[in-house]
Structure 1
Amino acid sequence: MPLGLIALALGAFGIGLTEFVIMGLLPEVAADFAVSEAAAGWLISGYALSVVVGALGLTAATVRLPRKPVLAGLLVLFIIGNTLTAVAATYEVAMLGRVIAALCHGAFFGIGSVVAADLVPANKKAGAIAIMFTGLTAANVLGVPFGTFLGQQAGWRSTFWAISGIGVIALIGILALVPVLKQAAEAISLRSELGAFKSRQVWLSLGVTVLGYGGMFGAFTYIAYTLTEVSGFNSHTVPWLLVLFGAGLFAGNWLGGRMADKNIDRTLLIFIGALLVVLIAFGALATSQVATIVALFLMGGFGFGTVPGLQSRIMRYAGSAPTLASGANIGAFNVGNALGAWAGGMGIAAGLGYTSPIWIGAAITVAALLLMLLAMNLAKKAPVVAELTPAN
């Protein structure tokens, strides 16, 4: 395994920790800045929206530049953002720090996916992307519980100082371990990168990403309410149940990467279909604690198991101009997060109960499955070579 993949995974770990750990520290943050919990929640929403902006804007702005120094520069931005959050004297400064850190998120994963794929032979590209995304899953399994514990014991700012330190280590790793890869002229042309969006399959892939991820997050965003109000778990057990969900993410990412290296579309169809089955079973059996535990693990596994395949698919159809399309797909994941959270919240607000987000997530997943079937059918009629031709 190329050592550069380890450096990319470490960067992914820090970025994933930045995104998710604040969820467990919102009470402390709200109390420190004397703001409502809803206002503190905007530190999460603001981050997600900034990810989409950075995924497109920063990727497009840096597409002509060599990828290794761009990745290093993005990590410097990440360190600055988290340091600013750690020292923030006001809520507004903390929000600014979150926005700055978020801007590097989409571009890092988008460009990092291309670099990871270039480090290995063609038949191992999805697996290499999965290794990089292992850092993100590890952030959920290990980083978030320990980061939350650190913040509760030593103050929430200590967590962000620790994240800044992880960013420094990842930066050193990128500089030392990621080789300078040769880029074709087309790969550093913004015009050719934009030309990738002429591919119908690129747009279909983005749609599957939004809907597939939206289905999982429609169920997951409000999972704490489902666990306590429907399944009957004590609130103190929720963090450990979320670790179980994170373990599912880890397993699904590994398995999805291995399977996608053999057949991307078939793997996506299997995982999206399996996610749909799990969500339907979860919605029907949420009052059973045993069924809920199993469903949590499987929901994380099948939901996140699509990530290596989705990222590989869009890069495949973007052809020799994959960087911007790859970044756009990272933005699509976050659009899916927002869609699922909004739709699930609408179900609760309508008085449909705390299992309604699961059923709504299942409905969104049905749409993802149908769109995937359409994409596969159209792909059979049009050869990949035609999709790979960049704009001149």
Structure 2
Amino acid sequence: MPLAVYVLGLAIFAQGTSEMMLAGLLPQMSADLGVSVPDAGLLISAFAVGMLVGAPVLAVLTLRWPHRRALLAFLAVFVAAHVAGALTPGYGVLFATRVVGAFVYAGFWAVAAATAIGLVPASARGRAMGIVAGGLTLATIAGLPLGTLLGQHLGWRSAFWAVAALSAAAMAAVAATVKNGTRAGEAPRVRDELRAMARPRLWLSFATTALATGALLVTFSYLGAMLEDATGIPERWVPGVLALYGAGSLIGITLGGRLADARAVPLLYAGITGLVAVSAALALTLGSPAPAIVLVFLLGAFGFATNPALTSRVFAMTDGSPTLVAATNTSAFNVGITAGPWLGGLALDAGAGYPSTAWIGAGLGVAALATVALGRVRRTDRSGAKVQERPRVSVG
């Protein structure tokens, strides 16, 4: 595996830490900025909005740029946004830096995916995407608690400085390992990218990404409160149980990366079915701590096992126009990240209780399985012959 693929995973870890760490910093930020905790929580929503919009917009705007230039530009803006966020005394400026940082982070995700796919043979695409996406898993496991620890002892601004420093280091590593001229042959054109998007099966794959992600996030977003309030697990044990979720996520994405290239669709069926079963089991056994602890580990394992296949599969449906496809798939992930917790919040506000979030996750998982099945239906030509579905990808 080329070193540059690991470097891209490191860069995702650095930026993904910023995405995750606010969950542990809201009380300190609220007190320092003079706003309520819910208002401070809107900084998380600001990041989600920036991620949702940034990937396709920047994919088009930087389409003719070499991948190396685009990656470095996105990282430079990300570093500047976090320096500004660490220095600002006002909530408004901080809110703006969160949107800007997420905007370029989404662009980085899209170009990093296309770059990683272009650096490896077709037989290793899933593994490469497992490494790149693994950076976000590490951000969940290590970045979130370390950011929280910094905020508790040195103030929330220290966490922003740490992310800026990590991202600057990642920028140097990208400059050293990602070569110029990553786009081969004729410069890509927007109309070619748009033409590649006009495939129903591709949009079904995007729907699978959004639904599977939402199925995981609707439960994960309320997992801490669920464990403490519904299962009766002591508060001091909750971080340890959440660490089990992180360990399961790391195992899942590692195994998924090894299987995604040869058995993408079976992996999706197995992973999403497992996610549905675990979500339903959580809803049914929340009153018992022992099964809940095991199920939290399995939730991370099944939820993340599908990520490499969700990412690499879309490239097998295009003809050498990967950038906008990768960007739209990134946005699909963020649709799930945004919609899942929102649906869970609606259920909790309606008084349905924590089991309802797991049931929603199971329902979204079933819908995701339906989109996988629909995507497998082979179209036939007028003579009744099956259309060839062999992947044809040429990525510069």
Output the TM-score relative to the length of structure 2. 0.95
1:194 is displaced (CA, Å) by 1.2
1:266 is displaced (CA, Å) by 1.4
Label 1:70 to 1:242 Cα distance change in 2 as closer, same or farther (>3 A): same
Distance 2:319 2:106 in 1: 20
Residue type of the partner of 1:263? R
**% identical aligned pairs:** 37
Cα deviation, 1:208-232, whole Å, max 9, x if unaligned, reads 0111111111111111221111111
Cα deviation, 1:265-291, whole Å, max 9, x if unaligned, reads 111111111111111111111222121
Residue type of the partner of 2:82? N
Residue type of the partner of 1:36? S
Q: What does residue 384 of structure 1 align with?
A: 389
Q: What does residue 18 of structure 1 align with?
A: 18
2:235 corresponds to 1:230: no
Question: Could you tell me whether the CA contact under 8 Å between 2:68 and 2:182 is conserved in 1?
Answer: no
Report the more deviating stretch, 155-164 or 269-278. 269-278
Q: What does residue 247 of structure 1 align with?
A: 247
Question: Could you tell me whether the CA contact under 8 Å between 2:196 and 2:319 is conserved in 1?
Answer: yes
Label 1:91 to 1:299 Cα distance change in 2 as closer, same or farther (>3 A): same
Residue type of the partner of 2:374? L
Residue type of the partner of 2:30? A
1:382 is displaced (CA, Å) by 3.5
Report the more deviating stretch, 222-231 or 149-158. 222-231
Question: Could you tell me whether the CA contact under 8 Å between 2:316 and 2:393 is conserved in 1?
Answer: no
Structure 1's unaligned 5+ residue stretches are none
Distance 2:158 2:393 in 1: 49
Question: Could you tell me whether the CA contact under 8 Å between 1:58 and 1:107 is conserved in 2?
Answer: yes
1:236 is displaced (CA, Å) by 3.2
Distance 1:186 1:239 in 2: 51
Q: How does 1:339-358 map to 2 (within 5 A)?
A: 339-358=339-358
1:384 is displaced (CA, Å) by 2.4
Residue type of the partner of 2:323? T
1:82 is displaced (CA, Å) by 1.1
Label 1:245 to 1:38 Cα distance change in 2 as closer, same or farther (>3 A): same
- Aligned-partner SS, 1:35: coil
Q: How does 1:141-160 map to 2 (within 5 A)?
A: 141-160=141-160
Report the more deviating stretch, 36-45 or 116-125. 116-125
Question: Could you tell me whether the CA contact under 8 Å between 1:33 and 1:90 is conserved in 2?
Answer: yes
Distance 1:237 1:15 in 2: 28
Question: Could you tell me whether the CA contact under 8 Å between 1:150 and 1:159 is conserved in 2?
Answer: yes
Label 1:379 to 1:266 Cα distance change in 2 as closer, same or farther (>3 A): farther
Q: What does residue 74 of structure 2 align with?
A: 74
Cα deviation, 1:337-364, whole Å, max 9, x if unaligned, reads 1111111111111111111101111111
- Aligned-partner SS, 1:384: coil
Q: How does 1:199-348 map to 2 (within 5 A)?
A: 199-348=199-348
- Aligned-partner SS, 2:69: helix
- Aligned-partner SS, 2:378: helix
Question: Could you tell me whether the CA contact under 8 Å between 1:186 and 1:320 is conserved in 2?
Answer: no
1:187 is displaced (CA, Å) by 6.1
Output the TM-score relative to the length of structure 1. 0.95
Q: What does residue 5 of structure 2 align with?
A: 5
How many residues are aligned here?
A: 389
Report the more deviating stretch, 299-308 or 233-242. 233-242
Label 1:193 to 1:226 Cα distance change in 2 as closer, same or farther (>3 A): same
Structure 2's unaligned 5+ residue stretches are 381-385
More helix by share: 1
Residue type of the partner of 1:368? A
2:5 corresponds to 1:28: no
- Aligned-partner SS, 1:188: coil
- Aligned-partner SS, 1:353: coil
Q: How does 1:122-201 map to 2 (within 5 A)?
A: 122-185=122-185, 188-201=188-201
1:40 is displaced (CA, Å) by 0.6
Question: Could you tell me whether the CA contact under 8 Å between 1:15 and 1:105 is conserved in 2?
Answer: yes
Structure 1 segments, 4+ long, off by >6 Å, are none
Label 1:235 to 1:187 Cα distance change in 2 as closer, same or farther (>3 A): farther
1:181 is displaced (CA, Å) by 4.4
